[in-house]
Structure 1
Amino acid sequence: MQVTSVGHAGFHIQTKAGSILCDPWVNPAYFASWFPFPDNTGLDWDELGNCDYLYVSHLHKDHFDPENLSKHVSKDATVLLPDYPVPDLERELRALGFTKFIATDDSVKHRIGPDGIRSAEGALAPDELDIMIVALRAPADGPIGDSGLVVSDGETTVFNMNDARPVEMDVVTESFGHIDIHLLQYSGAIWYPMVYDIPAKTKTNFGKQKRQRGMDRARSYIEQVGATWVVPSAGPPVFLDDALRDLNDDHGDEGNIFPDQIVFLEQMRIHGNTGGLLMIPGSTVDLTGTQLLSLTHPIPDDDVEKIFSDKAAYIEAMAQRMKPVIEAEKATWAPAEGEPLLDPIRAKFEPIMKQSDLMCDGIGYPVGLVLGDETVVLDFPARAVRAPEEGERKFRYGFRIAPELVRTVLRDDEPDWVNTIFLSTRFEAWRIGGYNEYLYTFFKCLTDERIAYADGWFSEAHDDSASIELGGYEMQRRCPHLKADLSKFGVVDGNELTCNLHGWKWDLDSGRCKTSKGHELRTRKL
């Protein structure tokens, strides 16, 4: 098996039974804020796109690149489709011209060949592969879904986890046995804490915690999977616009949440794991089972090292090359000036609010949108969008967003402001109190179908009857947030529990969630 990095979370997997192209992202994402790092524009995308199978893990724009898929990926490719409750991913791919799909079942091992799913009995035929797609279905997972792909050709097994965060890993190893190579995210992909209006020292401290927590979580996954070889991938992006350049980890900022591959490989070595592999776009690893036959890069090894040792210069050169791309992208945005935004936001949001009692009640207070000279209030308790009332100037949660970004997502009828505005980091935010998961989930679910699913998901009762003992406390085994197994992801420090899957915290004496409203933990001191 040959595994070639095509940048960020993207890989080309060549097997004797055909090739699989995974998450081929090359064009800038999130209002031209994110670019793949290192640069992957020099790859032969037509050759990479001449594949037998296509796998797009989810609809985040650093995984789903419609321009690249449309121009360079063969429409004869068979799409390996995750088992999502809302069919947005399939709709988007069909709109690009893809017609062949293998609809997988969540966390079920399938045997596939040129004619689709086959019987899984006996040894693999030369034209067959065993695959599994682990589909995450919580509203917080990507834009209504995220996933990871396992592929075996009978000799070698690869687990491409990209930036998914599976709760159960046993299903992978129980179905496939030993994993030979594990591809996973280790770096940040969020706007917190950079965009928040908080003191610089506080922001640095929060950033340091998030940076380390992300790497700790990745190491936890590595330990659970137990693969022979590990490739840190799915990040970090690089920020090339002058207004965003400070977000790059190239100037000694200890609170930066975007550590690069070299940083994480060193973390692995510090903790006794020497199986890490550095890959850049165009790097290929050739392996049979656990045996690594070769690792080759598209440029000399010294030049690979220089990308990371002199990263600021590399980013500056890349920024100069991409300046026309950024300017062209900005030219497609809606104008900043225009009619007031109150009415179009009301038309977009109020019908969604009226369908989502549980989520509106979970948000629980008005949220302010400061859009240039105009302020719009999302009054979730009243299920209404309105102008500020007289004297209403302060909001518990608020966003300061350039009006051209809001006009653009409204013009384009975007169903997901998280996957457009928020991940761009081109905004400022403030809040009083903890993170409100209901609020950001609402911003992901701006269609009837999405909001109905999310509201129903939150309203379902989850079993928390199983218990574990950890750090001198008895507590429910499943995290109240997204049901991670706390025996694997829970870390106790004194009377505080951290679930390393998403970094949420609880006070173990009271069970109170310290990260967000609600989500109490059943716990007692032993």
Structure 2
Amino acid sequence: MEVEFLGHGGFIITSGQMRVACDPWVSPRGAFHASWFQFPCNHHLWDRDYRNLTALVITHEHQDHLDAAFLSQKIVARIPIIIPQYPSRSLWSKIRAACANPITEVKPGIDHQLGEGLRVLFTTEDTPITPCAAATFQTRETVLINLSNARLSVKQRDTLKYRLRGRIDALLVQCARVDWNPICYRHPEEKMLALSVQKRVEQLEYAFQTLDRMPPRIGLPSAGPPAFLEDSLFRFNDDLGGKGIVPDQKRAHDWLRVRGYTRRLEIPLPGDRLNLINGEFAPDATIRKEFSFDQKDKYLTAYAGQMRPALAACRESLPRPTEDVFEPFRAYVQGLGESDASRLEELKLELRFVVEGSHGGDFLARCDAGALTFERTGGQTAACTITLDSVWLNQILHHNLRWTDFFLSLRFSVEQDPSAEDDHVLSWLQLVESQALADGMMETTKEKPAHA
């Protein structure tokens, strides 16, 4: 088995005549409406010919793992797309919206034969919002585990290790996880740094414990961080002197060493190759002429300048609201209340929306004792305030953008009353995403999935 790394969390496995891509993200348009970009840049891989792929594996629905442009433009119609079987059909729906390829949903814990002795096994992490799965690729001679974004429990990791009889040749583990809290929250600086360090260390410690508990021949930091190239987001690239929430691959590597991990680690860049039979890691010379972690700040500044015209074009292509957004927003909120009355009984919510830009306004959504209301605020305070631009709300109200994807774009800010006991943003997300998942279920009943 040979692995070619595509950047971020993507790679191609070659085994005999099989060529299987997993989570390829190479689109020059980035992800989440051009708020995330690949780091380092891998856009040169977009121009390659991918028609010789024999299968495609996608672990979950986040756009840095599910590249809709890649699905619609770069693969031939006959190749199957293999995905974990989740309770929600959201992942299936997003793939079907991008292409007509046959989709095979595989139950977690069941080996799926890809061909010529190559098989894949999914281990799912179920979360209330967006589930994720680890993908284990096996041949008779080799084993590669791609943890992707999944946070597997100790029991799941031990069970997987036992099933593989301790044989793990390569383990791709995420060391940086983007989280809008605290990134988008207006916390005092001291609290912001404390939360950033806490979440940074939690993710790095998870990576260390996983590598230590499931020791592979080769460990590989993977799937992050992205690059934030828009002017308003560029500051999120700052590692804050080792206190930022999303350390780059080199800082993660160094942290693992200081923490005490002594086994082999490699940092894969786009174009690098790994032979799992003999363990040979072949770095790509071309990208290393253009990129170095030691020159990260200079590289990101040049990268942002290169992408500035594309970023401007993306923003200009978005339709602006043509009327006051209050009535459409109120109808949207009322629809949430009508669709999930049982959830409202358990929900406590007080969320103010400050919508900036054309036809914006100041609105308050409140839920208490099962009653969901929405009104203009007149500037009154609330337990939690979200500030966003009307162009993004317009996309959401027209069902062109899900709240989870918008939140991951980081194009908003949150101010929460320090005395508030409830996480009002999470409560809102649980409400709106339960509706989105229900809509997805309704859509997919119209067409039976191929090979489901």
| Structures share fold, TM-score greater than 0.5 | yes
Superposed displacement of residue 137, structure 1: 3.1
Identify which of 151, 155, 159 aligns with 2:141: 155
State the match for 1:328 in structure 2.
Answer: 313
User: Equivalents in 2 of 1:194, 1:300: separation in Å?
Assistant: 30
Describe the SS at the equivalent of 1:323.
Answer: helix
Match of 1:100 in 2: 102
Q: Is the 8 A contact 1:206 1:255 kept in 2?
A: no
Q: How far 1:206 moved relative to its partner?
A: 1.5
* Conservation of the 8 A alpha-carbon contact between 1:355 and 1:451: no
Equivalent positions of 1:299-338 (< 5 A) are 299=286, 303=289, 307-335=292-320, 338=322
Give 1:394's aligned residue. Answer: 381
Corresponding residue for residue 247 of structure 1:
236
Distance 1:131 1:254, change over 3 A: closer
- Is the CA contact (8 Å cut-off) linking 2:339 and 2:435 kept in structure 1? no
Alpha-carbon RMSD across the aligned residues, in angstroms, is 2.3
Instruction: Tell me the SS of whatever aligns to 2:339.
Output: coil
Q: Which residue of 2 aligns with 1:15?
A: 15
Residues 93, 440 of structure 2: 8 Å contact kept:
no
Distance 1:66 1:152 in 2: 27
2:367 match: 380
Give the partner amino acid of 2:283.
T
1:84 deviates by 0.9
For residues 331 and 412 of structure 1, the distance between their equivalents in structure 2, rounded to whole angstroms, comes to 19
In 1, Cα distance between the equivalents of 2:186 and 2:345? 25
SS at match of 2:152: coil
What are the superposed Cα offsets for residues 438-469 of structure 1, whole Å, 9 maximum, x if unpaired? 3332243333616999xxxxxxxxxxxxxxxx
The correspondence for 1:111, drawn from 110, 113, 117, is: 113
Corresponding residue of 1:41: 43
Contact 1:345 1:385 in 2 (8 A): no
Report the alpha carbon displacement of residue 367 of structure 1 after superposing the two structures with TM: 1.3
The answer to whether 1:370 aligns with 2:372 is: no
Measured after TM superposition, the shift of residue 200 of structure 1 is: 1.7
Give the drift of 1:379.
2.0
Which amino acid counterpart does residue 181 of structure 2 have in structure 1?
Y
Once the two structures are superposed, residues 73-131 of structure 1 have per-residue CA deviations (whole angstroms, 9 ceiling, x without a partner) of 22222111211112222233233333323321112223343xxxxxxxxxxxxx12232
The Cα shift of 1:265 comes to 0.9
Q: After TM superposition, list the pairs within 5 Å mapping 1:81-480 onto structure 2.
A: 81-113=83-115, 127-140=116-129, 142=130, 145-167=131-153, 168-177=156-165, 178-249=167-238, 252-270=240-258, 271-288=260-277, 291-299=278-286, 303=289, 307-335=292-320, 338-357=322-341, 359-372=343-356, 374-381=361-368, 383-388=371-376, 393-414=380-401, 416-419=402-405, 421-432=406-417, 433-434=420-421, 435-436=423-424, 437-447=426-436, 449=438
User: Partners of 2:83 and 2:161 in 1: how far apart?
Assistant: 21
Match 1:67 to one of 66, 69, 94: 69
How much has 1:10 moved relative to structure 2? 0.9
The whole-number CA distance in structure 2 between the counterparts of 1:223 and 1:362 is 40
SS at match of 2:227: coil
1:52 shift after superposition: 0.7
Q: What secondary structure is seen at the aligned counterpart in 2 of 1:227? A: coil
What are the Cα deviations for residues 248-303 of structure 1, in whole angstroms up to 9, with x where unaligned? 036x4443111111111112222132311111111111121xx41232224275x3
Matched-pair contact (CA < 8 Å) for 1:21–1:48: no
For the residue of structure 2 that corresponds to 1:235, the secondary structure is coil
**TM-aligned CA deviation for residue 363 of structure 1:** 3.5
Contact 1:17 1:153 in 2 (8 A): no
Tell me how far apart the structure 1 counterparts of residues 38 and 144 of structure 2 sit (CA, whole Å): 22
Aligned length: 428
**Is the 2:172–2:222 contact (alpha carbons within 8 Å) kept by the matching residues of 1?**
yes
Supply the distance in 2 between the matched residues of 1:77 and 1:451 (Cα, whole angstroms). Answer: 24
Residue 227 of structure 1: how far off its partner (Å) = 1.4
More contact order relative to length (CA 8 Å, sep ≥ 6): 2
Match of 1:489 in 2: none
- Code of the residue aligned with 1:137 in structure 2: it is D
What residue number does 1:2 align with?
2
Contact 1:110–1:130, Cα closer than 8 Å, also in 2: yes
SS class of match (1:292): coil
Report the Cα distance in structure 1 between the residues aligned to 2:224 and 2:51, rounded to whole angstroms: 22
Q: Which amino acid aligns with 1:73?
A: I
Higher helix proportion: 2
Checking the alignment, whether the CA contact within 8 Å between 2:89 and 2:440 is kept in structure 1 is no
Q: Check conservation: 2:349, 2:428, Cα contact below 8 A.
A: no
Post-superposition offset of 1:429: 0.3
After superposition, give the CA deviation of every residue in 1:481-522 in whole Å (9 maximum; x if it has no partner): xxxxxxxxxxxxxxxxxxxxxxxxxxxxxxxxxxxxxxxxxx
Q: Which runs of 5+ in 1 are unaligned?
A: 114-126, 454-526
CA displacement, residues 226-251 of structure 1 (integer Å, 9 cap, x when unaligned): 2121111110010111111111036x
The one-letter amino acid of 1:379's match is R
1:357 deviates by: 4.2
Contact 1:7 1:36 in 2 (8 A): yes
Q: Work out the CA distance in 1 between the residues paired with 2:252 and 2:171.
A: 14
Q: Which amino acid aligns with 2:146?
A: N
**Worse overlay, 338-347 or 422-431:** 338-347
Cα distance, 1:198–1:448 mapped onto 2, change above 3 Å? closer
Q: Secondary structure at the match of 2:56?
A: strand
Counterpart residue type for residue 327 of structure 1: A
Deviations 1:324-371 (A, max 9, x none): 111111012222x53222221222232222333454344413211111
Structure 1 residues 174 and 331: CA distance shift in structure 2, 3 A = same
Match of 1:486 in 2: none
Q: Distance in 2 between matches of 1:40 and 1:352?
A: 40
Rounded Cα–Cα distance in structure 2 between residues aligned with 1:409 and 1:355 = 17
**Alignment correspondent of 1:459:** none
State the distance in 2 between where 1:198 and 1:81 align. 38
Per the normalisation by structure 2, the TM-score is 0.88
> Which whole-Å CA distance do the structure 2 matches of 1:223 and 1:98 have between them?
41
User: Does the CA-based 8 Å contact 1:30-1:424 persist in structure 2?
Assistant: yes
Between the aligned partners of 1:194 and 1:294, the Cα distance in structure 2 is: 35
In percent, how many aligned pairs have the same letter?
23
Partner Cα separation in structure 1 for residue 198 and residue 285 of structure 2: 35
Contact 1:401 1:428 in 2 (8 A): yes
